[in-house]
């Protein structure tokens, strides 16, 4: 059974340009689905449609078996949404914030304290339990925002960059908690710019750019698609932009990162490593430059994402 079914979804804010342009995909019940893409790709707009905040311009979208344009209230009662924007009462303590949310979700009074105690312990909030939200750190506020939404049981949970502002330990604990929710049957729709998180957490991922879906599969299958590729990271001293241009013009089929600088390496995803090395060596001799860093590795999810997005941008 599918928790989400999207067919030919299009969304336009001005009636002229589609920010989401023909998306079709399904998310199975109990699946953790990663929805990946660069800034401006259409991820947030898609989430707004799926959570019934805006209506599609075109297409069919069903969430938990219900049409988002006709049964929005019923859908909202059965989903949870954790967005990037802050969502808590500044003048109330951590505990009172949680009590208010429990009340809004009609959690039985006999269960509220137990649920709050469990989440406060799970997310290490005991020391600030009685402290106002205005007086805690950014990371603690993020954890508060998370536990407020997790206080009720959702069949489908939408997570938009949920780990922003969290330290590595809190991040790992949160991702592990999400895995446990999925094992118990909760479906999770997850967006992140941290591809290591997606690799750790997700069963499948879809890669979107300019409102279109360019790849969707399990992480293992996506990696296997680019199994012959390797990722080369190279840092030179003088003119990385000239080396990048040389690689782009001569290395057929490769994707070359255009966001490098003198402190961060050029990234090349290619199945022609010897040719790339020849070009790099040629550049060093011609320019009298020096090689500061060189690394060749198997392609991971981050590199798959980089290549999928890079390939369609070069079309």
pLDDT at 259: 77
Are 194 and 229 in contact, with CB atoms under 8 Å apart?
Answer: no
pLDDT at 61: 97
pLDDT at 302: 86
How far, in Å, CA of 142 to CA of 150, rounded? 12
pLDDT at 314: 52
pLDDT at 25: 97
Low-confidence residues of the chain: pLDDT under 70: 86, 312-315
Write down the H helix ranges in 19-167.
43-50, 72-76, 94-104, 109-122, 138-150
Closest C-alpha to 91, from 54, 57, 133, 58: 133
CATH number of 228-298: 3.30.70.120
Predicted TM-score (pTM) of the model is 0.83
The residues, ordered by sequence, that sit 6+ positions from 250 with a Cβ below 8 Å of its Cβ are 275, 279
Q: Where are the domains of the chain?
A: 2-218, 228-298
pLDDT at 19: 96
Domains 2-218 and 228-298 share a fold: no
The architecture in CATH of the region 2-218 reads: 3-Layer(aba) Sandwich (3.40)
Q: Quote the percentage of the chain above a pLDDT of 90.
A: 59
How far, in Å, CA of 91 to CA of 216, rounded? 43
Q: Tell me: the pLDDT tens digits for 169-190?
A: 888 888 999 999 999 999 999 9
């Amino acid at each position: 059974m599918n928790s989400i079914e999207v067919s030919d979804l299009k969304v336009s804010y001005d009636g002229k340009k589609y920010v989401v342009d023909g998306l079709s995909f399904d998310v199975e019940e109990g699946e953790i689905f990663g929805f990946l893409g660069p800034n401006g790709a259409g991820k947030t707009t898609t989430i707004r449609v799926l959570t019934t905040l805006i209506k599609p311009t075109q297409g069919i979208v069903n969430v938990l078996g219900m049409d988002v344009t006709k049964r929005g209230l019923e859908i909202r009662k059965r989903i949870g949404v954790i967005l990037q924007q802050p969502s808590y009462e500044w003048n109330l303590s951590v505990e009172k914030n949680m009590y208010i949310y429990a009340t809004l979700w009609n959690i039985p009074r006999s269960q509220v304290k137990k649920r709050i105690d469990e989440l406060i312990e799970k997310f290490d909030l005991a020391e600030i339990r009685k402290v106002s939200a205005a007086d805690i750190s950014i990371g603690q506020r993020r954890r508060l925002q998370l536990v407020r939404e997790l206080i009720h049981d959702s069949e489908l949970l939408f997570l938009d960059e949920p780990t922003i502002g969290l330290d590595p330990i809190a991040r790992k604990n949160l991702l592990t908690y999400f895995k446990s929710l999925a094992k118990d049957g909760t479906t999770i729709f997850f967006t992140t710019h941290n591809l290591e998180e997606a690799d750790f957490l997700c069963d499948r991922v879809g890669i979107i750019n300019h409102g279109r879906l360019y790849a969707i599969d399990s992480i293992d299958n996506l990696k296997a698609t680019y199994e012959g590729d390797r990722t080369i990271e190279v840092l030179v001293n003088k003119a990385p932009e000239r080396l990048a241009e040389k690689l782009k013009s001569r290395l057929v089929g490769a994707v070359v990162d255009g966001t490098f600088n003198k402190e961060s390496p050029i990234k090349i995803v290619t199945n022609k490593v010897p040719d790339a090395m020849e070009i790099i060596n040629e550049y060093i001799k011609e320019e009298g430059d020096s090689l500061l860093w060189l690394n060749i590795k198997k392609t991971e999810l981050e590199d798959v994402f980089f290549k999928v997005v890079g390939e369609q941008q070069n079309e």
